[in-house]
Amino acid sequence: MNKTNNHVPALITIFGATGDLSHRKLFPSLFHLYQQDNLDERVAIIGIGRRELTNDDFRAQVKSSIQEHVQDTKHLDKFMQHVFYQPHDVSDEASYQKLLELSESLDREFSLEGNRVFYLAMAPRFFGVVTDFLKSSGLTKTKGFKRLVIEKPFGSDLKSAEELNEQIRRSFKEEEIFRIDHYLGKDMVQNIEVLRFSNAMFEPLWNNKYISNIQVTSSEVLGVEDRGGYYETSGALKDMVQNHMLQMVALLAMEPPISLNSDDIRAEKVKVLKSLHVLQPDEVRNQFVRGQYDKGFINGQEVKAYREEDKVAADSTTPTFVSGKVEIDNFRWAGVPFYIRTGKRMKRKSIQVVVEFKEVPMNLYYQKDKHLDSNLLVINIQPNEGVSIHLNGKKYVQGIETEPVQLSYAMSAQDKMNTVDAYENLLFDVLKGDATNFTHWEELKSTWKFVDSIQEAWDHFEPEFPNYESGTNGPLDSDLLLSRDGFKWWNDIQ
């Protein structure tokens, strides 16, 4: 990772440290930062969990998860000397007193200058309780900085998000709250802004005069796995659309910021999210499609229907797929549909943006047996990472027949080896205090308002689920959504 060496001493306290996220993402990312010399020797990490573990028990667990996720484990033992554990009951005052004592002693031992990061990798129902106790126990009263990092979901609708926000704001200011959306840590998502604003050739065309539609897809092959309990309360709309999908739309649609300062970038994102066209119930019926996977085949293996998954109701109406037409009511984008699509148990894992340009005003050329293709700009976010431009060129035969030509830039194998996990980027930003790639409360307000309008309309009628087979591109209605407008999903494009 090519980060500027910007060492910040800090105590990082992770609530939910024995959970899956901590083991799969947080500790491997922290270790990698340390290994790359992007984490200071003046760092201490306290893992907090309910279980009674000793430091040694916990270190052994963390060590084995790091070994599982990171290839090169040089300096692992040295890193482990920075890791501590404290058994903790989140609703018990005394636990916070013990945490305060441990924090103060580590602060002295590692010269942490009172800088404290509290990472809540736990169920959101505990967020408010924990932040209240952090304040009342004196843990947030520190001479250094205090920062709160929280995972989604942030509420389950606008009202609950507002309540939660009020609660955590009792202990932390907005600029001290880092709300994670891990898509914003992905290198190619961050690249959207760079491509748009550092190249003269895109920006003049980036509007309703030249773009016919933009497609944003995040499809997964995996099903709900062991998260049925959580997913039943969320579904694809709240799990993916409210955050990741709309964040990508915001980056594609925002105006150029006046500087790369976090406040300036976020101000532009807020502006565009405020222009999302909030849907009336009949618009939801015409513009949004929900789906749920049935059984089917993935890589030749038969897989279960969603309703047969663990902790999922046999008559569940939770959507595992959503596609829809998002409209942005502003001068630049009026009339350009942003089609978004996300689902589980689909044909392939792909996060991709396709920008489709309008046809030339008078087309004199043709492609054999076919309408001339539109120009496309394809941004591959995952698993392929790169950009391609699809053009029309002359076919090498007599006459003026054309053929599609593709210019592509793919991240090299060498670059790929150095690609870091989104969490590593984000943890580094938290330590630096750079909030650019985190979700501001104003962004959340607009995205919840938009998502609530869809959910409310859906609550009024029962879907006919399941409606797509596992291993496919989702329900037929999703294809009709585009074909009605004269477009198609660019499914197999790279």
Tell me whether residue 455 is exposed, middle or buried, using C-beta atoms within 10 angstroms of its C-beta: 0 to 12, 13 to 18, 19 or more.
middle
351 binds ligand BG6 (CB under 6 A): yes
* Helices 27-35, 422-432: crossing angle, 10 deg rounding: 70
Known binding residue 50? Answer is: yes
Exposure letters 239-260 (e unless 16+ CB within 10 A, then b): bbbbbbbbbbbbbbbbeebeee
- Output the smallest distance, CB 24 to ligand BG6, in A: 11
Q: Please say which residue, 239 or 356, places its beta carbon nearer to ligand BG6.
A: 239
Q: Please say which residue, 151 or 327, places its beta carbon nearer to ligand BG6.
A: 151
Region 221-250 residues binding ligand BG6, contact defined as CB under 6 A:
239
439 binds ligand BG6 (CB under 6 A): no
Tell which residue, 437, 429, 356, has the closest CA to residue 188.
437
* Helices 158-169, 127-136: crossing angle, 10 deg rounding: 10
- The encoded tokens of residue 360 equal 């030339």
- Listed in order, strand segments (DSSP E) in 167-280 are 177-179, 211-219
220 binds ligand BG6 (CB under 6 A): yes
Angle at 425 between CA 422 and CA 428, to 5 degrees: 145
Q: Please say which residue, 107 or 220, places its beta carbon nearer to ligand BG6.
A: 220
Known binding residue 349? Answer is: yes
460 noted as active-site residue: no
Residue 375 and residue 202: Cα distance in Å, rounded? Answer: 12
Determine the residue type at 55. N
Number of residues that bind ligand BG6 (CB under 6 A): 4
- The encoded tokens of residue 153 equal 């979901």
Tell me whether residue 355 is exposed, middle or buried, using C-beta atoms within 10 angstroms of its C-beta: 0 to 12, 13 to 18, 19 or more.
buried
Residue 66 and residue 353: Cα distance in Å, rounded? Answer: 32
421 binds ligand BG6 (CB under 6 A): no
What does residue 247 show for φ and ψ, rounded to 5 degrees? Answer: -65, -40
Known binding residue 186? Answer is: yes
- The encoded tokens of residue 424 equal 């590593």
Residue number of the CB closest to ligand BG6 reads 239
- Output the smallest distance, CB 381 to ligand BG6, in A: 8
Tell which residue, 334, 336, 353, 329, has the closest CA to residue 211.
336
How many Cβ atoms sit within 10 Å of the Cβ of residue 223?
21
Region 180-219 residues binding ligand BG6, contact defined as CB under 6 A:
218
18 binds ligand BG6 (CB under 6 A): no
Known binding residue 220? Answer is: yes
Residue 209 and residue 375: Cα distance in Å, rounded? Answer: 14
* H or E element in which residue 479 lies: helix 476-483
- In the block, tokens 């830039």 appear at 409
Strand partners, 218: 342, 351
Give the 3-state secondary structure of 124-146.
Answer: HHHHHHHHHHHHHCCCCCCCCCE
Please give the DSSP secondary-structure letter assigned to residue 153: P
- Catalytic site residue from 244, 277, 390, 460: 244
Alpha helices in 25-124 (DSSP H): 27-35, 55-69, 76-80, 93-110
Assess contact for 146 and 118: CB atoms under 8 A: yes
- In the block, tokens 């300036």 appear at 264
- The encoded tokens of residue 5 equal 């060496």
Q: Please say which residue, 326 or 351, places its beta carbon nearer to ligand BG6.
A: 351
- Output the smallest distance, CB 187 to ligand BG6, in A: 12
- Output the smallest distance, CB 351 to ligand BG6, in A: 6
Known binding residue 57? Answer is: no
Known binding residue 445? Answer is: no
Q: Please say which residue, 351 or 426, places its beta carbon nearer to ligand BG6.
A: 351
Known binding-site residue numbers: 50, 89-90, 152, 182, 186, 220, 239, 344, 349
* Binding-site residue positions for NADP(+): 50, 89-90, 152
Tell me which residues are annotated as active site.
244
Q: Which residues of the shown chain bind ligand BG6 in the complex (CB under 6 A)?
A: 218, 220, 239, 351
